[in-house]
Structure 1
């Protein structure tokens, strides 16, 4: 009897082990594609950068170890890089300051019980799924100072007497910021709508019974309860805005005279010089150093935001 029970226990234990092994293999099998993607497109490039940022390396000569010379050049002699850092802050800050409020207001509007709101939501979200290069090329033809659509409309309505150089030094940064906002508001609007729909309607009904109007419920109920969602949205907006450069590359190429050049566009030019008459040449070693320092800057700003947002939550 005892032998039979022991055999049954052993069989049950072996069965459980096989089931656990099968579950682990299934789990690892589902994780494996993501791990390979992370390894190939994130970890390997990072190791590549760490290797070559201590080297002098371009397309015509092999890598030569030069120690910290690239860092010395970046921090002491390359004033243009720090100009791109300031441009990045202007571009990213302007994009965030416009995108977040507009996305929030659009989410409030679309979240109401309106006819055709699904169509409106799809139209606003549409720019998000359009290729950044295609979107920027479309706006290039709109903002072109010579035969652009915008200038033709303004001149046709006699709002201006001569074409405005929207991509010139005076308006270039404003133009690239507005194009970036147009492409981003749909994405953040969806996040805000998801946050709004998670707020219980009973709270609004109670506030209406107490005599609160729409503005008061928005200020005292909606915005505070969207706090966690807002923090995630702002963090995403910070990282995306500080790393963005694709639309700038198509619209202005960083010009005129570097007035719209940003950190990661500068890094791109060091790896893949643009045929626009600029003085950039291929410099993989220095480009790796600039990419590393740019990533550190973005990481520090993101960590600072997370620290102060967490601290404000603890204080409240």
Structure 2
């Protein structure tokens, strides 16, 4: 009797979390999976259409353009943020004055609202009266205003903003890994004549392997599903140059005045099918990374 009472008491602690997960997580997924097979605009009658939504997905050039943009955005973010985070972690792991303050400053963007951060950077990169253009023109570094959010530079701009927001988090994780490496290893290698660069190449990088695998996995997932700052800064424009997968899905469920021709009408049914295909793409990339990282670790 006491065992049953203790068990019921224990489950009562996780019941609120289970209810929230069911209501806010499981139910919306089940709802979306049902409407994948319906022509449903979010209002009016539902019409069962079978796999027609999926047929439409594979013919939707705007969606596949967003897939390509997502890979460009994710690749740029990974290539810039992870090496930069590692370098900063190594530097701020040294015994230098004010390192805790510097760590806090670099980590600060991680806790700032993405929407607020994007609004600030929009004012910086604004083509007409942006702070960056004014600064560059004042010191004669450019002759005329650069359209940082235009066709040529918009993707680079949103990638740089994403790197600024992510590098502090990855730096902190690298710092945790660096502080778990015993000092004795470095001291022994120094006695054998290894310099700082050799210690970094043959000690730091290999011993950070497990931490780096986790950081790369988190970075891939976050980069593939990121869209908030892009929505605020460019809304996927101009002409779809920064339209990424999750932003495209968002516009199908919550269309805005600036949406493209294919996304001006709310389409819950089609949006559910696109969301499912998007989730499959992210899942496949994650599985491939897991498989690849596992294979690489076998040869270390």
Quickly say closer, same or farther: Cα 1:189–1:26, change in 2 above 3 A: farther
2:251–2:259 Cα contact (<8 Å) kept? no
Equivalent position of 1:195 in the other structure: 177
TM-score (norm 1): 0.92
**Pair 1:167 & 2:149 matched:** yes
91-100 vs 34-43, greater mean Cα deviation: 34-43
Mapped to 1, the partners of 2:129 and 2:290 lie a distance apart of 45
Whether 1:111 aligns to 2:90 is no
The secondary structure found in structure 2 opposite 1:270 is helix
Give 3-state SS (helix, strand or coil) of 1:34's partner.
helix
Match of 1:128 in 2: 110
Q: What displacement does 1:43 show?
A: 1.2
* Cα drift, residue 34 of structure 1: 2.8
Q: Distance in 1 between the 2:80 and 2:9 partners?
A: 45
| 2:24 paired with 1:41 | yes
| CA drift at 1:117 | 0.7
Say yes or no: does 1:297 pair with 2:277. no
Question: How far is 1:277 from its partner?
Answer: 5.9
Select the residue among 230, 236, 240 that pairs with 1:254: 236
Q: Once the 2 structures are TM-superposed, how far is the Cα of residue 60 of structure 1 from its aligned partner?
A: 3.4
Q: How many residues are treated as equivalent by the alignment?
A: 298
**Residue 57 (1) aligns with residue 40 (2):** yes
Moved over 6 A (4+): none
Segment drifting more, 261-270 vs 109-118: 109-118
User: How well do the aligned residues superpose, as a CA RMSD in angstroms?
Assistant: 1.2
User: Relative to 1, partners in 2 of residues 1:166 and 1:68: Cα closer, same or farther, differing over 3 Å?
Assistant: same
In structure 1, C-alpha distance between the alignment counterparts of 2:205 and 2:170, rounded to whole Å: 15
Equivalent residue runs for 1:155-234 within 5 Å: 155-234=137-216
Task: Compute the displacement of 1:302 (Å).
Answer: 0.3
Verify the 8 A CA contact 2:230 2:236 in the aligned structure 1. Answer: yes
Task: Quote the Cα distance in structure 2 between the aligned partners of 1:128 and 1:200.
Answer: 29
Give, in whole Å, the separation in 2 of the partners of 1:250 and 1:156.
27
Q: Could you tell me how far apart the structure 2 residues matched to 1:139 and 1:24 are?
A: 52
When normalised by structure 2's length, the TM-score is 0.96
User: Structure 1 unaligned runs (5+)?
Assistant: 1-16
After TM superposition, give the deviation of residue 249 of structure 1 in Å. 0.2
Deviations 1:198-226 (A, max 9, x none): 11111111111111111111110011001
Aligned partner of residue 289 in structure 1, secondary structure: helix
Cα distance in 2 between the residues matched to 1:310 and 1:215: 27
What CA distance in whole angstroms lies between the structure 2 residues aligned with 1:29 and 1:216? 55
Q: Name the structure 1 match of 2:295.
A: 311
Structure 1 Cα separation of the partners of residues 39 and 159 of structure 2: 35
Task: Find the counterpart in structure 2 of residue 285 from structure 1.
Answer: 269
For 2:120, the equivalent position in structure 1 comes to 138
Higher gyration radius (CA): 1
Q: Deviations over 1:186-243 (max 9, x none)?
A: 0111100011111111111111111111111111001100100100000000000000
Return 5+ residue gaps in structure 2 as ranges: none
